[in-house]
């Protein structure tokens, strides 16, 4: 088993030969970029601002609705601040990824952790997305699409250079791997 070459010596730890027949699950090796916390925080700030802004506008413009909009506004503000304080750091702590010449691994989740593995022979497309906020933070998302009923695997919060190299490497390896990708 060889490692998929990506910048900074990132790659997979090979499965020990004596254990290849055993179920060998470990957390994917790589953390996402620390800058992803800022990206998620900014996305959260924008979402909370829209919700709280709409409630403030309703409070100021619809006087008959003030008795019920006021408590909803306070509740939304408190929940928004709590969300911003917890969610970005929690997502950073949970998200992991790894790519080898055999498979792409990703771990996500909040209370229930989801571990997804896409064998290289099943990969149909590999895409890189960089939205406006991701560009500001120098990040990208790599989407690995397979024939799985669960849909694509998303490697979020990657440095944009690592994402570009990973996309190139996965495309090269997928083309050289026998399989029907279905």
Q: How far apart are CA 143 and CA 153, in angstroms?
A: 6
Global model pTM greater than 0.85: no
Each residue's pLDDT tens digit, 36-95 = 999 999 999 999 999 999 999 999 998 888 899 999 999 999 999 999 999 999 999 999
φ, ψ of residue 25 in degrees (nearest 5) = -110, 130
Give the mean pLDDT of 88-112: 90
> pLDDT higher for 11 or 26?
26
- Choose among 147, 114, 110, 145: nearest CA to 127: 145
| 8 Å CB contact between 86 and 79 | no
State both tokens at 120. Answer: 């290289």
Angle formed by the axes of helices 66-94 and 35-61, nearest 10°: 170
């Amino acid at each position: 088993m060889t490692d998929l070459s990506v910048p900074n010596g990132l790659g997979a730890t090979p499965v020990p030969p004596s254990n290849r027949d055993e179920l060998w699950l470990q957390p994917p090796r790589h953390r996402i970029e620390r800058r992803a916390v800022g990206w998620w925080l900014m996305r959260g700030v924008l979402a909370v601002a829209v919700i709280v802004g709409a409630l403030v506008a309703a409070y100021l413009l619809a006087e008959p609705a003030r008795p019920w909009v006021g408590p909803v506004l306070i509740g939304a503000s408190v929940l928004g601040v709590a969300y911003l304080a917890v969610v970005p750091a929690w997502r950073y702590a949970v998200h992991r990824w790894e790519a080898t010449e055999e498979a792409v691994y990703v771990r996500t989740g909040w209370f229930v952790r989801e571990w997804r593995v896409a064998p290289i022979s099943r990969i149909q497309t590999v895409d890189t997305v960089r939205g406006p906020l991701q560009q500001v933070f120098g990040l990208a998302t790599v989407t690995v699409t397979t024939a799985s009923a669960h849909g694509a695997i998303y490697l979020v919060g990657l440095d944009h250079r690592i994402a570009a190299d990973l996309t190139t490497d996965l495309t090269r390896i997928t083309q050289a791997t026998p399989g029907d990708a279905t």
